[in-house]
Amino acid sequence: MTAGSRRMRQEKEMVGFMSNGVTFGVVTAQHWRSWPMLAEQWSWAEEAGWDSAWLFDHFFSLYDGEDGPTLDGWTVLAGLASSTSRIRMGLMVTGNMHRNPAIMFKQAVTVDHLS
């Protein structure tokens, strides 16, 4: 392979990387939302063509003034993983100091298998 053909191949690979490197995601907070509402939001996000959807991992609502559930991020993520087919998913942040690392690892592996 000549230096010119090697450079051309590298440029083609870079162009391919750049054209496929941008993705768009949506964040849905799980405080004050029921399970059916969250499932509907993620179903809509997948149908609308979003590349990813994200939750948070706070133990209580970030905002005062309203009552309602604040569902556990990992548990909701597992449920949403089994009810979607294409969308990538994750938690924006997780409380790694609040969980045993082995248990958190097992939760992540379980979500991966469900998705």
Q: Which residues contact 61 (CB under 8 A, 6 or more apart)?
A: 31, 32, 68, 70
Tallying the residues shown for the chain, one arrives at: 115
Q: Model pTM?
A: 0.72
How many whole angstroms separate alpha carbon 42 and alpha carbon 44? 5
At 8 the pLDDT is 61
User: Domain boundaries in the chain?
Assistant: 23-114
Assess contact for 57 and 94: CB atoms under 8 A: yes
| Site of tokens 């045993």 | 100
For the chain of 115 residues, list the mean pLDDT of each consecutive stretch of 10.
63 55 86 88 93 87 71 90 89 84 89 86
At 9 the pLDDT is 64
Q: Which residues contact 62 (CB under 8 A, 6 or more apart)?
A: 29, 31, 56
At 59 the pLDDT is 76
Query: Residue 26: which of 3, 6, 49 has the closest Cα?
Result: 49
Q: What is the DSSP letter of 59?
A: S
